[in-house]
Amino acid sequence: MTVLSLSGIGHAYLGRSVLENIDLSVAAGEIVALVGPSGCGKSTLAHIAAGLTEPRAGRIDRGYLRHAMIFQDPCLMPWSDAADNIAYVLRLSGIRSKQRQNRIAEVAEQVALEPDDLIKFPVELSGGMRQRVAIARALAVRPDFVYFDEPFTALDVALRRRMQDLVIETCSASGTAGLFITHDLHEAARIAHRIAVLDTRGHGVVGERRLEGDPASRSDTDVFRWVQQALTNDALFRHIHDVDERQIA
Amino acid sequence: MQAPPSHRPKLAARLADRAGRVLQFLWSGWAGLAGLCLLAALWQAGHEAYGPFILSSPLATLSEIGALAADPDAWAIALLTLQRAVTGFALVSLVGVVLGVTAGYSPATMRISIPLITVLLGVPPIAWIVLAMIWFGGSDATVRTVIVVAALPVVFLGAARGIATRDRGLDRMAEAFGAGPVTRFLTVGLRQTTTTLFPALALALGTAFKVAVMAELLANAGGIGGALADARINIDIAQALAWVVIAVALLLIVEYTLVQPVKGEIERWRHAAQPWGVKR
C-alpha cells in the first residue's frame, strides 16, 4: 500500500523553476531516502509533500493518518522547557493534559531523555540533546509517517550515528514510514529501504535503488560496501557530490 | 494503580522556586537603592553650593513629601495623574501592539506606516498638547491623547520588529504539526514579539508619566502638572521638587509592580541561559 504518492510535482521560486516532473511514492512501513547534491530542491520537495509549501503543479496523495517532521534546525521554542516543547505538539493534536504527561514520559524514555533534561530550556541543552528533544517531539504524536529534512547535518559524526541508530530502531519497531532528505549517501544507505536520486537541477527523480534487507539488520560492512560500489560503479550517483554554491534553495 | 509519571517538580518545590525568584528580585533592590543614595548625595552638594532658594535640600524635600502625604487633597492629585498615565499607557499599548503586529505580518503595511511614524515622531509633543486642548479642553482625554501620540511610535516599532524578525522555522514547525494560522500567531508569533516589545513598553510607560505631567501643566488640567504650576507661581522650590519625586516614585512603583514581574516571568528562559555568576 502506498502512503505517500507525488506525481508531476513542479515548483518555482520567483519565476525560476526549482522542481519539475517529480514522481515519487513511499509504501507503508518503508523509509525512502531522497538524495541529491545541495541546492537541487530536496528540502523544497519535502516541504511540498508535508503541505508546508504549495506546489505550482502536480498532485499529492497522502494515505497516512498523521505525519511528523524533524528539521535540520531542531526548531524548539526557546521560552519553553523540553517537556513543554513536546507538550506543545501533543496539545496541537488534541491530547488531554493528563495523557500528555504520560506520553511525554514515554517518548522521553524512548529517546533516552532523563527527567532532569526535560525541565531544561533549549539554551541549556547541547546540540545533540536538542535534536533528541526534536525527535521525541516528532515521535510523541504517534505518527505513521515522518518527514526528515536533513535532520542530522549539523551534528558531529559520532552524534549523527547515535541519532541514526535511534531513528532506525524506533521506525522499524513501530513500522513507521518516512521520507528522509539527505545529501549524505552513507546516511541514506544506513537508514533507508530505498534510495531515490533527485536530478541536479531538480528535473525529476533520475533513478532509484533498493537496498537489501532491513535497515535494522544491516551491518556497517554491508553499508560501507554498498556505498563504495554505488560511488564507483553506479552512474546514478555520479553527480551526488556536485556543489554549486551559487544556487539558492 | 500507580500514579502517572510526571516531569513536573512537586508543588512545594515550585513554590520554593518562585519564592526564591521573588527574594532574588527584592535583593537586587539594594543596587538600586545605592544608586539613589548617590543621586541624593549629588543633590545635597548642589543644595550646599547654591542655597535653599535655588535647590532645597533632599531632607527638606522629604519633609515636604511627608506633609503632602498627610493631605488627602494631595493624594487625589497624585492619583489623578496616576490614573491618566496608566490608562493612557494601556491605550497606547493596545493600539500600538495591534497596529505593530499587523505591520509585522504585512510588509506593505510596514512600508506605508514607516513614513507616518517618522512624521509622528517629527511633530513636537507640545503641538499635540495645543491641538488636544482645543479638541478636548482640560480633561483626561487631552492627557491620554498626548500620551498615545507621544508613545505610539515606540510601541508600534517594538511590536512590528518582534513579528518581522521572528524565527520562521518555528512557524514552519508549528504548521508541520498541524497548527492553523491563528494558533500559530497566538502560540508562536505573539510570544516572540516580547523580546522587542517589553523594552518598548517600559519606555512607553516612562513617556506616559512624563507626558501626563507636561500635558497637565500646559493644559491646566489639574493633577501633578497642575500642582507643579501652583508651586511655580508661589516659587515654592521644595514643593515643586516634592511633586517631581512623587511623579518619579509613581512611575517606579508601576514599573516594578506591573512591567518588570511580567517581563521576568516571560523571559525566565533567558535568565536560565546566563552563567550563575552574572545573574541580575
Q: Is the pLDDT of residue B272 over 80?
A: no
Same domain for A249 and A157: yes
Question: Using the beta-carbon criterion (under 8 Å), do B7 and A80 form an inter-chain contact?
Answer: no
Residues 6+ apart with CB under 8 A from A188: A33, A35, A180, A182, A195
Alpha-carbon distance of B237 to A12, in angstroms, equals: 72
| DSSP states of B98-160 | HHHHHHHH-HHHHHHHHHHHHHHHHS-HHHHHHHHHHHH-SSHHHHHHHHHHHHHHHHHHHHH
Backbone angles phi, psi at B10, to 5 degrees: -65, 160
Q: Is the pLDDT of residue A70 over 50?
A: yes
Minimal Cα distance from B7: which residue of A?
A115
Higher pLDDT, B185 or A235: B185
Alpha-carbon distance of A133 to A151, in angstroms, equals: 12
pLDDT in tens, A184-232: 899 999 999 999 999 888 888 989 999 988 888 889 999 999 999 998 8
CB A134 within 8 A of CB A74: yes
Q: Is the pLDDT of residue B226 over 50?
A: yes
Could you give the number of structural domains in chain A?
2
Alpha-carbon distance of B241 to B56, in angstroms, equals: 8
Same domain for A156 and A136: no
Closest CA to A83 of A124, A126, A120: A120
Which of A143, A164, A197 is the last residue before a domain boundary?
A143
Which of A127, A143, A159 is the last residue before a domain boundary?
A143
Lowest mean per-residue pLDDT among A177-181, B2-6, B164-168, B256-260: B2-6
Determine the pLDDT at residue B139: 86
Residue A246 placed within a domain: yes
B8 touches chain A (CB under 8 A): yes
A98 touches chain B (CB under 8 A): yes
With residue A67 as reference, give the H or E element that holds it. Answer: strand A67-70
Q: What is the rounded average pLDDT of the residues A90-103?
A: 91
Residue A70 placed within a domain: no
Same domain for A220 and A174: yes
Q: What does the domain layout of chain B look like in residue ranges?
A: 63-261
Q: Which of A76, A88, A117, A118 to mutate to test the interface with B (most CBs of B within 10 A)?
A: A88
Same domain for A83 and A135: yes
Alpha-carbon distance of A120 to A132, in angstroms, equals: 13
Residue A180 placed within a domain: yes
Q: Is the pLDDT of residue A248 over 60?
A: no
Terminal Cα-to-Cα distance of chain A (whole angstroms): 32
Give me the domain span that covers residue A137: 78-143
Determine the pLDDT at residue B280: 47
Same domain for A90 and A56: no
Residue A163 placed within a domain: yes
Q: Indicate the length of chain A as a whole number.
A: 249
A70 touches chain B (CB under 8 A): no
Q: What is the rounded average pLDDT of the residues B119-123?
A: 88
Same domain for A243 and A124: no
Alpha-carbon distance of A76 to A88, in angstroms, equals: 10
Residues 6+ apart with CB under 8 A from A98: B4
Same domain for A171 and A238: yes
B183 touches chain A (CB under 8 A): yes
Alpha-carbon distance of A179 to A192, in angstroms, equals: 9
Question: Using the beta-carbon criterion (under 8 Å), do A71 and B266 form an inter-chain contact?
Answer: no
Mean pLDDT of all residues belonging to chain A: 90
Q: What is the rounded average pLDDT of the residues B242-249?
A: 93
Determine the pLDDT at residue B29: 83
Q: What is the largest CA-CA distance in chain A?
A: 55
Residue A248 placed within a domain: yes
Superfamily of chain region B63-261 = MetI-like (1.10.3720.10)
Q: Is the pLDDT of residue B181 over 50?
A: yes
pLDDT in tens, A38-60: 778 889 999 999 999 999 999 99
SS3 assignment, position A31: strand
A113 touches chain B (CB under 8 A): no
Pairing state between β A57-62 and A2-13 = antiparallel
Q: Which of B14, B168, B175, B177 to mutate to test the interface with A (most CBs of A within 10 A)?
A: B177
Which of A143, A162, A187 is the last residue before a domain boundary?
A143
Same domain for A155 and A238: yes
Same domain for A231 and A198: yes
Query: Bridge-partner residues for A13, per DSSP?
Result: A16
pLDDT confidence bin for B3, thresholds 50/70/90: very low
Alpha-carbon distance of B212 to A22, in angstroms, equals: 64
Q: Is the pLDDT of residue B11 over 80?
A: no
Higher pLDDT, A233 or B24: A233
pLDDT in tens, B124-180: 888 998 999 999 988 899 999 999 999 999 999 999 999 999 999 999 999 999 999
Minimal Cα distance from B180: which residue of A?
A92
Same domain for A208 and A179: yes
